[in-house]
Amino acid sequence: MPGHPASRSTDDASGDGEVWARAAWSVVAEPGDATAGAVVAALGAPAALAWALWAVTTTPDHALARLRRLVARGGADGAELPDDEPGAATGEPGAGSGPWPPSTVRVLARALPRWAPRLADLDPRPALDDLAGRGGTLLVPGRPGWPARLDDLGPAAPLCLWARGDPDLAALTERSVAVVGARAATAYGERVAGDLGAGLAERGVTVVSGGAFGVDVAAHRGALAVGGRTVALLAGGIDRPSPAGNLAVLERLVDDGGALVAESPPGTPPSRARFLQRNRVIAALAGATVVVEAAWRSGALSTAARAAELLRPLGAVPGPVTSMVSVGCHRLLRDAGAVCVTDAAEAAELLAGAEPAPAPAQDDARGAAAGHGTPQAVGRGAHRPDSPAARVLDALLRRRALAAEEVARRAGLAEHEVVATLGLLELAGDVRRTEGTWLPTA
């Protein structure tokens, strides 16, 4: 799309088309958009952006056919996209062969309309200018400062990170523990979180958290109190630190050698969905995760679930059995294999057993673009975190069998997709059927 601001992927001040294009993609795609991630992985960010600018002007079938051809040719000519491709609209053999199954058309049919409004007037320059004005850095995969652990998220990994503070996030988080928990923490929870933050920092461990009220900010404060370094992951842009009541702490952690990090560009407000996606980055970035106070449905449990899926060590702090904000921690200790953590020494011990999760296979990345995958191993951690299999397993209850309709509602998936996924999971031994209802086997 010549003349479009975002199509000038090599005309930015630095001349770095990859950085420019990834900044543009972070404006277009919401955090955790695995379809965008798969396309970028297949073509490279500049060629993928050029393809997307063209693809929203045509049909999903046509767009997919062109994408397949670009992938087959290595994506090298992605900056020049023709207006037509023989056989693309008809699905003839020349257009239909490629690395993804036909169901990918449906995925693109959903993705292109959600990208189109932002592609229409896309220009990443204001966000990049804002970042530069704050002395920040745009971190991109494969470049200095990028934490390789994030790549364990596969196609759902961040396309880039907008950061203030220490630009070498990889070194900063090489030895790190995420300390997360309830916003409405008790005095007990805040004290434990602060002690963990301080004790970990004294051991040279970076404390990672989300900057929220309660457990998060207590952990940040604990690390800062002893001269340690800490990283806060935001659910909006770096110009929208949330909550405003913690602004002084967030500014101090930048000044004291830590980092303030966002997946979304400046100008993006926090939202519930972005908070949940932010949690996956916290889990992937840190070498281990410790939950300090969490109610039954606490957002901290989503961070814990992500950590477990990524095979990261997981710990939980026990609390009074009468405390509703410790129910989630006790649930992790009882049902999720979390390690009991009572002090910073025990939290640091989690890092001794930390091993990187296996890199996702190329077929897994393509499967994310298609929105489905065939389970090949037993257990929640064996499935890609954003896959229907993982979502179905997360929706099932250990102590009460659920009908497929209820699983679909809890997982946010179509019932026919849940039925098919349950069948595959049953073959893999991950679930069992009980009189028309379903239970997990592990």
Same domain for 34 and 113? Answer: yes
Q: What is the sign of the dihedral through the CA atoms of 245, 250, 255 and 260?
A: negative
pLDDT at position 370 is: 35
* 131 inside domain: no
**What does the pLDDT look like over 366-403, one tens digit per residue?**
333 333 333 333 344 456 555 788 778 888 988 899 99
Same domain for 84 and 211? Answer: no
CA distances for 325 relative to 226, 292, 329, angstroms: 27, 9, 8
**What does the pLDDT look like over 61-115, one tens digit per residue?**
888 888 888 888 775 433 333 333 333 333 333 334 344 555 667 788 888 888 9
Does the pLDDT at position 341 exceed 90?
yes
Same domain for 338 and 204? Answer: yes
- Which of 323, 352, 381 represents a domain boundary (last residue)? 352
Higher pLDDT, 168 or 83: 168
pLDDT at position 358 is: 39
pLDDT at position 146 is: 98
Same domain for 397 and 346? Answer: no
Same domain for 159 and 287? Answer: yes
Pairing of strands 259-262, 161-165: antiparallel
The tally of domains found in the chain comes to 3
pLDDT at position 222 is: 97
* 44 inside domain: yes
Same domain for 59 and 206? Answer: no
The token pair that represents 114 in the structure block? 């959600």
Same domain for 377 and 338? Answer: no
pLDDT at position 387 is: 74
* 128 inside domain: no
Same domain for 293 and 433? Answer: no
Q: How far apart are CA 35 and CA 159, in angstroms?
A: 11
Phi-psi region of 14 (alpha: psi -120 to 50; beta: other; left: phi over 0): alpha
Which domain, by its residues, includes 10?
5-123
